[in-house]
Amino acid sequence: MRVLFATSEAAPLIKTGGLADVSGALPPALRRIGADVRVLLPAYPQVLRALANLRLETVFPARFGYPSSRLFEAKTKSGETLWLLDCPELYQRNGGPYLDEHGCDWADNPRRFGLLSKVAAVLSSAESPLDWRPDIVHCHDWQTGLTPAYLRYLRDPAPCVMTIHNLAFQGNFHANWVHDLGLPWECFKPEGAEFYGHLSFLKAGLYYADRITTVSPSYAREIQGEALGFGMQGLLSHRRNVLSGILNGIDLEEWNPEKDPNLVQGYTGKTLQRKQANKQALRQRTGLQVDENAPLFGMVSRFTYQKGTDLVLETAHRLMETPAQLVMLGSGDAALQQQARELAQRYPGRVSVTVGFDEGLSHQIEAGADIFLMPSRFEPCGLNQMYSQRYGTPPIVHATGGLIDSVDDFDGSNAETATGFVFGDMHADGLWAAMYRAMQVYDDKPQWRKLQENGMRRDFGWENSARAYLAVYKQTLADRSVH
Ligand code: ADP
Ligand code: GLC
């Protein structure tokens, strides 16, 4: 099975969130079960700096308002084949993949990701200049949403699987872009790429892809309803026969508490006492005071409405009436960043807030905290709650999406299987009740240890999910051969 995996970010080269973790770990997992995968990624400066030995594969001439671009092949350290789309005019800039240095969307994002989509489509058709052609093209989120639309107008197109990592990001742009990106106007209708008068990259993907997946079974159900469908619930429920949810895995090498180079001491379920040294080190690094008995709550996340950062900030005042401490790492919404900083100023030594993106610190929080907070309003899958279980840090999660599918709530009677705390009421009171519950169990050391061990034993590896994707690819090919 030859798979072209088209994505806008991939760890460890370029990462803003979970999509990068998936793009870094799923292709090798697919390769281990026999697939031949090429990962197509824009050649951002960070990516070019990290890779040596690039080999020029082909040059795409300027067309349809797209500047000319080049395709380079490179190998990652783990042996993955990358295809880097080099177009200096679009990708060689300071800033992030989607935002400039001031946190604003790049104004030409439609062109930047239109080109990525277009090249993915060309490489998956008879118009590809290369010998290697995929059996399947696997697209991710709006940034590659136009691929199946372009494919319709190319010769002998490969079938396309579209994965939704987050329906809230849709890539909706002014209708003029239809012309500017070389799409026929016939695409611009409700049965196509049009969404409330805009050109929607994601809608195009969901409409034209052969199959749709999302990153957990619960989220696959939720997005067919009004509450979490973000306006696309009608289309998604109409296409439910080709829509499925596959829970993400995690990279068990990257996130291994026994061998994690970011930790002062490695540990396993059998040597959990060593976790304590990591808690001390984390306190020291983040300026928290030493207090043997105080449970330490941790959070690593984008600071956004989705992640419930506001609820954590609200609840923190109550938490400060107990001996507990709080460490937060994240960035995003400017007002939330500011409120978080003010909270840390108000409770020095007890609340620590780091605004920014820090891979090392994120590992240290997973390891050094006692209890992990992830009260997302919605969560397609979520990875941190899985990392935290693997690091012996039971998570508190809201009952939504992938969080339901990956955390077993402790109800007082299931200490043999429970791995964390799940709450249903998305208000400060609901979160606080779960935090209070967690602190009570934390004080009961044998029971707490069971929860930690249960989480650490769970298999969150990619293998099962990679097999599920392979099954989807095969089904997609089988559907094509019938039609
Ligand atoms: P999302 O993709 O919606 O942000 P996920 O839980 O799927 O949420 O993945 C987030 C990923 O980004 C995780 O690997 C998490 O550790 C990482 N992450 C988020 N914020 C930060 C940060 N400020 N510093 C370091 N890593 C972060
Ligand atoms: C998105 C989602 C997150 C998911 C990640 C990887 O960013 O918000 O829930 O884990 O994609 O699939």
For the stretch 430-450, pLDDT in tens is 999 999 999 999 999 999 999
Q: How many CB atoms lie within 10 A of CB 108?
A: 13
Q: How many CB atoms lie within 10 A of CB 111?
A: 22
pLDDT at 327 over 70: yes
The whole-number average pLDDT for the span 109-138 is 98
- For the stretch 256-310, pLDDT in tens is 999 999 999 999 999 999 999 999 999 999 999 999 889 999 999 999 999 999 9
Atom from ligand 1 closest to the CA of residue 307: 3
In the reported structure, the alpha carbon of residue 214 is separated from the centroid of ligand 2 by a whole-number distance in angstroms of: 9
Ligand sitting nearest the alpha carbon of 23: 2
Is the CB of residue 381 below 6 angstroms from any atom belonging to ligand 2? yes
Ligand sitting nearest the alpha carbon of 140: 2
pTM of the model: 0.96
Q: How far is CA 103 from the centre of its chain?
A: 19
The residue whose CA is least distant from atom 2 of ligand 1 is 18
Atom from ligand 1 closest to the CA of residue 166: 3
Q: How far is CA 167 from the centre of its chain?
A: 12
Atom from ligand 1 closest to the CA of residue 15: 12
- For the stretch 225-268, pLDDT in tens is 999 999 999 999 999 999 999 999 999 999 999 999 999 999 99
Token duo for residue 340? 């978080």
Ligand sitting nearest the alpha carbon of 302: 1
C-alpha closest to that of 211 among 235, 242, 234: 242
Q: Ligand 1, from 362, 372, 406: best to mutate by most atoms within 8 Å of Cβ?
A: 362
The residue whose CA is least distant from atom 24 of ligand 1 is 357
Atom from ligand 2 closest to the CA of residue 248: 12
pLDDT at 483 over 70: no
In the reported structure, the alpha carbon of residue 249 is separated from the centroid of ligand 1 by a whole-number distance in angstroms of: 14
Q: Ligand 2, from 16, 169, 215: best to mutate by most atoms within 8 Å of Cβ?
A: 215
C-alpha closest to that of 299 among 275, 273, 269, 328: 328
